[in-house]
Amino acid sequence: MILLGLTGSIGTGKSTTSALFAARGVPVHDADATVHALYRGPAVPLIAAEFPGTVIDGIVDRTRLGAAVLGDALALQRLEAVIHPLVRQAELSFRARIAASAHRLAVIDVPLLFETGGDLRVDATVVVTCDAVTQRARVLSRPGMTVEKFENIKAKQMPDADKRRRAHFLVDSGHGFDSAGRQVDAILRACAGMLR
């Protein structure tokens, strides 16, 4: 079996590319979706204790939590100490399910794959990229996004050029959905060749 680690900086089209793999029948573990589920489940009491006032009606309020850690490296480390072990456990459960299935290829979608050493736990990496102008326009069009938030997020992420250098495969999402789909198909063909 081949396990691909999918990553990309904010606004480069990683989520869309992840969906392209899933649409082609490839099992995908989405670390962001896992975090969203944790914010409605097991992480709630832990975050409430660590960051009072960030849980509303039994759900972590992401806006309040974001404000509590924005620009505060120590607060971010405290949050990561709560969340990362839970996300890792969910990933291990996904891996166990895939290993017990007939699937020969799976994807783990992790925004900070290289930054957290996740690339060492996969067989190959896929980096989703696009030009800086497209990336900025995509991110700043998101509801509630500001230039300050964007810059803070980018500061925590490995530069796109460094990710591309470390990638086994690239998907340039700056040329539209159909082009990205063709690139995903090429990656699947390459993986099928490795599995023969």
Give the span between the Cα atoms of 66 and 134, in whole angstroms: 24
Give the span between the Cα atoms of 182 and 82, in whole angstroms: 38
pTM, entire model: 0.89
Question: 6 and 14 in contact (C-beta within 8 Å)?
Answer: yes
Reading the chain (196 residues) residue by residue, the pLDDT tens digits are 999 999 999 999 999 999 999 999 999 999 999 999 999 999 999 999 999 999 999 999 999 998 999 878 899 899 999 999 999 999 999 999 999 999 999 999 999 899 989 999 999 999 999 999 999 999 999 998 999 889 888 888 899 999 999 999 999 999 999 999 999 999 999 999 888 7
Fold of 2-27+101-195: Rossmann fold (3.40.50)
Contacts of 169 (CB under 8 A, 6+ apart): 4, 124, 125, 126, 127, 187, 190
CA distances from 93 to 81, 90, 116, 179, 187 (A): 19, 5, 19, 33, 25
Partners of 30 in the beta sheet?
109
- The domain segmentation of the chain, as residue ranges, is 2-27+101-195
